[in-house]
Structures are given as C-alpha cells and as structure tokens.
Amino acid sequence: MSLYQKIKSAITVRQVGEMYGMEPDRHGMVCCPFHSDSDPSMKLNESYYYCFACGANGDAIDLTAKLFDLNPRQAAEKLASDFGLDPDKPPASAIALPPPKSGLTDEQWADIAYCLRVLTDYLDLLHDWRERYKPASPEEPHDPRFEEALHMTETIEHLTDCVAFGTPQQKAAAAAQLLSGSYLLMLEERTDRLALAKCA
C-alpha cells in the first residue's frame, strides 16, 4: 500500500482542516482559504473537500499540498508526521498478501496488465467526471456522474495501487483477487459502454 493510501485510509479531510486551523460548522462548511471568502463556501467531507464558490476540490493530500504550497509527496509526508502515522506500518485495513514466491508466469503478467488497464480506464473516467460535472453552486443538484466520481475514486485508486506497486508476487496476488469475482468485468463493460456512447 502506498503512502498516499495509508494517509487516505487513516485521516479524513475534516480532520486535516481542523488540524490546520479551519473550524467547520455543524454542516462541515468553512470559509475557503483559497479565495476571499466572507461566508463559508467550502464543504469538508470525510474523503474530499469542495468549494462551491471557486471550485477548489480534492482529497486530504490535495488540501494539505495547496495550503502549504507542497507537492503531493511532501504533503503526504507532512500529514504522516503531523498525525503521528508510521509510514512503514500498514493500516489494519491493508490487503494481506502471500509471501513472495518464484517468478511470475506470462499469464500472471497478462492478468496484471489487464487489471491495470481496466482500473486506469475507469479512473480516468472518474477524474473527468469530477471536473466536468461538478455543481456550480450549493443549491444545484449533483449529477450522478459527479456523485459516482466522489464515491468511487478513492476505492479505484487503492485497487490500482495494489496491482501497480509492490513485488511481482504482490501484484499477481492483487490481480488474482480482483479476477476472482465479477467486479472487474462489470467495470470493463461499463467503461466500454460509456466510451461507445461518447463516440456515438
């Protein structure tokens, strides 16, 4: 599991805001620090923030990076330090992977490549939706695609990390776990269907 995923699984965006001086009201609203804001226009949710006035949005790492003018890696390291997280100790929710074995077969490498293609295609779609369909005001109803992007991005990033990083054996184990059910096939069919609809 990457440092980014460890941060996201352990710290909420609201906790980050409170740590760095924001005072959310009972609805999680704060004055946005990224523009001149007299009335609270930024919402701090568990996994993301969103400003209805200037459009600033992102996760806990994005918020920290923007507040302190850091790159994502520096922001993640700052959060790990400020919240007392041990970057070398995986959180309790980390996927348990089997111990390393010998080299992988061509079939296992093909499975890893397939999983990464499906996950990154869907992740690209979620990132596009998060920007393209974000609401212009607090009153505007949320587009279902914006809601899906907010709810699914973190999960898909985590799954992508599991398949993309680690030893070859860890990648193969993560890919095998994904391929053992129908979730990945469902994602591929849905992404392909949406891509065809966009081209039509």
Q: What is the pLDDT along the chain (200 residues), one digit of tens a residue?
A: 567 778 888 899 999 999 999 999 988 899 999 988 888 999 998 888 888 888 888 889 889 999 999 888 888 889 988 888 865 554 444 444 444 444 788 888 889 889 988 998 898 889 889 888 998 888 888 899 999 999 999 989 888 888 887 788 888 999 999 999 888 888 888 888 887 766 65
pLDDT, residue 99, reads 43
* Residue found by looking up tokens 């991005």 in the block: 153
pLDDT, residue 198, reads 66
pLDDT, residue 52, reads 85
pLDDT, residue 27, reads 85
85/80 Cα distance (integer angstroms): 5
pLDDT, residue 87, reads 55
CB under 8 A, 24+ apart: contacts of 38-44: 41/138, 43/138, 44/13, 44/14, 44/17
189/170 Cα distance (integer angstroms): 26
150/58 Cα distance (integer angstroms): 9
pLDDT, residue 89, reads 52
pLDDT, residue 45, reads 86
